[in-house]
Structure 1
Amino acid sequence: MSQDADTSPAEAPELEESNLDEAHRLRHEFVESVLERLDAADDEGVRELVEQLHPADIADLFEQVDRERRGPLAAAVRDLLDGEVLSEMNDFVREGLVDELDNVQVADLASNLDTDDAVAIIEDMEAEDQREVLRALDPDDRAAIEEALAYPEETAGRVMQRELVSVYENMMVGDVIDFLRDSQDMTMEFWEIFVVDARHHPVGTCALSWILRTPRNFAIADVMKREQMLIPVDMDQEEVALRFQKYGLISAAVVDSDGRLVGMITVDDIVDIIAEEAGEDILRLSGAGEGDINEPVKDAYRSRVRWLVANLGTALVASFIISLFGAAIEEMVALAVLMPIVASIGGNAGTQTMAVAVRALAINELTRSNTWRTIRHELAVAIFNGATIAVLIGIGAALVFGNPMLGGVIAAAMLINIVIAGLAGVFVPVTLERMGQDPAVASSVFVTMITDSIGFLAFLGLAVASGLVG
């Protein structure tokens, strides 16, 4: 596969200042101008405006217009709608557009992309359409994409590029330079060469700058860097991103189960993965599913409603605890007034600790080696936070209701709930992670249930135990 050099950011056409705002987003006025010409069936006018844009901005344009207008817009700028534009698009928008293109067009677009970008376009198509697209591709391109599709989603094998440059370790620098000049099928963009042995196992890497500055009669094995990070083909993409982040990698070789070089991953792909994984974790914490504004309403409903149902179940637990103290609440209305404060503050404290723990687990900062140190740290923070909030709410309640005993009860309940919230915010994600579950998915439901239940139980229970109410 080849990548069109004309679409690289360095060669992007100069944009009129009126097209983009200071944050490099398409201006509302520009989008409206495109839509006005589109509604007037002025396809040539639409094309004149859109052809000024970089492929990433064309993708943004499609994401900003209504679903009903994306088809006509695609028809108006069909010759500009190349593979790079599709690879930059939001997944839901791209799927809708691909459905409107015939399979030969999709195959033509895919053939001009790196394998990882081509896979991103083809992988979500219906099985029959996918087979037709693959049949329309050149044999080499088809084999590369089929191999990528055979790997599980979100693994190194699915996101790696097959387009790389490798040379044998017994070659001289002069031979390598001649090879780079004479090869016609080589990828056009690369900055690192992988050195392999006779079994095609990677043994080192060599930057282009080193080759250019080394005499021709030196062996490439004497120039290369032998230490390198090898990525197993079945490694999860999030773990790959952590390796890049930890070791400051620009690119890394991907090897199969036999240790043979099969591809590479570059930092530009990792940037997308980091953004995607970070967004997924935040959305999972809130139970918002894909959380994409372009997601179909039915899909968004299905992904979100199940967590609302789960929250309903946990809320019933807290309601049951309240019902046990119904007589006490009837006797002192102030208890009903103050209960939401205890639950709300405890819930916020638990959410803070849970967010810290989930992030630490995601980036491998929280491990088995430092779990107890982390728990002690968060417990100390919770005690200080709890004491501060307890003093404030205790004094406030005593003054407002003229009842020092009530102030002491809510202060003690607040301290207990915030400390429990801090412990739950760590224990719940860590326990889920130890059980092989994603802590970002279910942690919030359990932490909320714990903080609400403990908050009500501590507050109402202390009110009864202290003799504040009968």
Structure 2
Amino acid sequence: MADLEETLLVEDRPVNEEDVRPDDRVDDERHDEENRLKPEYVSAVEDALDAGDTAAVYELVEPLHPADIADLLELFGSDDRALLAAAITDLMSSEVVAELNDHVRELMMEALAPADVATIAEELETDDAVQLLEDLDEDDQKAIIAELEPETQAAVESALSYPEETAGRLMNRHVMAVPEHLTVGDLIDYLRTDGDLEHDFFEVFVIDASHHPVGTCSLNWILTSPRSIKLTDVMKRDQTLIPVSMDQEEVALMFQKYALISAAVVDDSGRLVGQMTVDDIVHIISEEAGEDALLLSGAGDGDINEPIKEAYSSRVRWLVANLGTAVVASLIIAFFGAAIEELVALAVLMPIVASIGGNAGTQTMAVAVRAIATNQLTRANTWRIVWRELRVALLNGVTIAVLIGIAAGALYSPMMGLVIAAAMVLNIAVAGLAGVLVPVMFERLDQDPAVASSVFVTMITDSMGFLAFLGLAVVSGLAPLG
């Protein structure tokens, strides 16, 4: 067998050791050690743009990978972004557009003529083309779709007919599917002569006469099996089928659970209509993880490219909700106003009880929301998990209670130490329960547990912290009620 260096060519040159090296983009004149565009490089592009030197801008940007061009566009403000795009028009490939942030891509697509957007969409995979169009206004969508080739137009319209974030919307419609009566040799010949090999695929789907998937053949099986063997003898019959209506988060969980590389997507009648591949799932997992974290904080999309009006609208409603829950806590404090006036130590110590309780509730809530999202917390084990988190909360509560009790006892009085210790145990225990039960309640009501759990858990822990501490102080005789 010829040596690898003698048989493989790169740019018509024999492969040598200098060609086999880490990514050149890392820590070069444009990238730092973490593969981010260097500030001085971005400044150089900006200076050339401000000077109106489009030739210099083009020369600086031309060597970049499409993903880096997308990053560069996102680093500029909207006005400079338009100027940059105009200066590097022929570098604005479909690969660049596919890598752009959703908000940036939407603004740029709205600024282009429908025919130009259609040209970009034609170069993309169907799922990427749909992502390009789905956030645009309906009128803009129709104008762009009208400019597409009939085949692409039908595929895009079909995808847009499914709800957002479902397999039908996200699937790739380019599927390598063959009838079950073929042999391995027939399949190899088909792939060499008639197969559409422009699109990546990891396995071949075998279908029956009704276009229902009956099995899959991995490429390594095809290449290592004798030509005379029937596909039905080598195909894997046990396959995971994804309904078109399945939510993207559930699809990602199935890929994770069953270690899938690709999976067939079927319509309501069980017919093969597309496939999901692992590269799609990577994007979904990243998107869902970030989305849940942002929802817990009430930060909306949490995107620095999000329009100010949308960012304001998504965040202010949660701040208003927090204002309402804070009023509940303040009413409890007002009820014990006389006790606080009589004993200033209560005012000094009560924020500690509420704060620690809130942090404990947030910890448990984060664990519960993630467990629900990954199907680790279901109806089958809810009460076991509740009991587990209560025990963890009690252990945490006792530990913190001993520490704060000793400190408060030394600073004020032994009774004050006992009161705050008891309040701390009680509040952290309640926080543990609330951190699990509130997300579970939202999940049972078919609501996203990440959306509003934090507001209610914070209200419960703050209110219970003040009530427990001030109430125990009154009951113990440390301070009067009125």
TM-score using structure 1 length: 0.96
Q: 1: distance between equivalents of 2:89 and 2:458?
A: 50
Task: Give the Å deviation of 1:184.
Answer: 6.4
**Cross-structure match for 1:325:** 336
Aligned counterparts of 1:299 and 1:448: Cα–Cα separation in 2: 25
The aligned counterpart of 2:4 is none
Which residue among 416, 435, 456 is the counterpart of 2:445?
435
Q: Which range moved further: 330-339 or 126-135?
A: 126-135
Query: Which AA in structure 1 matches 2:70?
Result: A
Which of 224, 227, 235 in structure 2 is aligned with 1:216? 227
Matches within 5 A, 1:258-269: 258-269=269-280
Aligned counterparts of 2:382 and 2:201: Cα–Cα separation in 1:
42
Contact 1:164 1:187 in 2 (8 A): no
**Partner of residue 252, structure 1:** 263
1:361 counterpart = 2:372 = yes
State the secondary structure of the residue aligned to 1:467: coil
Partner Cα separation in structure 1 for residue 194 and residue 52 of structure 2: 47
1:124 aligns with 2:139: no
- Is the CA contact 1:202–1:260 (under 8 Å) kept in the aligned structure 2? yes
The SS at the match of 2:463 is: helix
Moved more, 418-427 or 207-216: 207-216
How far did residue 185 of structure 1 move? 4.6
Shift of 1:281: 0.6
Give the AA of the match of 1:295. Answer: E
Question: 2:106 maps to what in 1?
Answer: 95
Q: Secondary structure at the match of 1:205?
A: strand
C-alpha distance in structure 2 between counterparts of 1:224 and 1:50, whole Å: 47
Q: Which amino acid aligns with 2:442?
A: L
Q: Which residue of 1 aligns with 2:432?
A: 422
Q: Secondary structure at the match of 1:142?
A: helix
Matched, 1:291 2:302: yes
Instruction: Answer yes or no: is the 8 Å Cα contact 1:160–1:265 preserved in 2.
Output: yes
- 2:202, 2:262 within 8 Å by CA — same for their partners in 1? no
Q: Counterpart of 1:421 in structure 2: which amino acid?
A: A
Does the aligned pair in 1 maintain the 2:343–2:479 contact within 8 Å?
Answer: yes
Q: How does 1:68-467 map to 2 (within 5 A)?
A: 68-183=79-194, 185-401=196-412, 403-467=413-477
Q: What is the CA distance between 1:389 and its match in structure 2? A: 0.6
Aligned-residue offset at 1:188: 3.4
- Tell me the CA shift for residue 217 of structure 1: 1.4
How far does the alpha carbon of each residue in 1:61-112 deviate from its partner, in whole angstroms, 9 at most, with x for none? Answer: 1111122101011111111111111111110111111112111111011001
What's the offset of the Cα at 1:189? 2.1
Alignment partner, residue 5 of structure 2: none
SS at match of 2:274: strand
Shift of 1:186: 4.5
2:32 aligns to what SS in structure 1?
coil
**Does the CA-based 8 Å contact 1:193-1:208 persist in structure 2?**
yes
Shift of 1:187: 3.3
Q: Contact 1:204 / 1:225 at 8 angstroms: preserved in 2?
A: yes
SS at match of 1:194: strand
Amino acid at match of 2:194: S
Change (3 A) 1:169 1:386: same
Answer whether contact 1:14 1:52 (CA < 8 A) is retained. Answer: no
Letter aligned with residue 74 of structure 1: A
Deviation per residue, 1:31-56 (Å, 9 max, x gap):
11111111122222212221211111
Contact 1:13 1:52 in 2 (8 A): no
1:437 is aligned with what amino acid?
A: Q
Separation (CA, whole Å) in 1 of partners of 2:50 and 2:234 = 61
**AA aligned opposite 1:266:** T
In the TM superposition, residue 437 of structure 1 has moved relative to its aligned partner by: 1.2
Report the more deviating stretch, 312-321 or 33-42: 33-42
Deviations 1:388-421 (A, max 9, x none): 11111111011112x1111111111111100010
Distance (Å, rounded) in 2 between the aligned partners of 1:277 and 1:107:
29
Distance 1:418 1:268 in 2: 42
How many angstroms apart in 1 are the aligned matches of 2:343 and 2:24? 71
Aligned residue among 53, 57, 61 for 2:64: 53
Cα separation, 2, equivalents of 1:113 and 1:86: 9
Runs of 4+ residues deviating >6 angstroms:
none
Structure 1 residues 405 and 63, CA gap change in structure 2 (3 angstroms): same
Deviation at 1:191, TM superposition (A): 2.5
Structure-1 separation of matches of 2:214 and 2:195: 25
Q: Tell me which amino acid in the other structure corresponds to 1:219.
A: K
1:434 and 1:33 map into 2 onto residues whose CA distance is 54
RMSD: 1.4
Paired-residue identity, % = 64
Q: CA deviation at 1:135?
A: 1.2
Gaps of 5+ in 1: 1-9
Shift in Å at residue 215 of structure 1?
Answer: 2.0
CA contact (8 A) 1:206 1:223 kept: yes
User: For residues 113-152 of structure 1, what are the alpha-carbon distances to aligned partners after superposition, in whole Å with 9 as ceiling and x for unaligned?
Assistant: 1100000111112222211211111100000000000000
Q: Secondary structure at the match of 1:374?
A: helix
SS of 1:375 mapped into structure 2: helix
Indicate the residue corresponding to 1:24 in structure 2: 35
Output the TM-score relative to the length of structure 2: 0.93
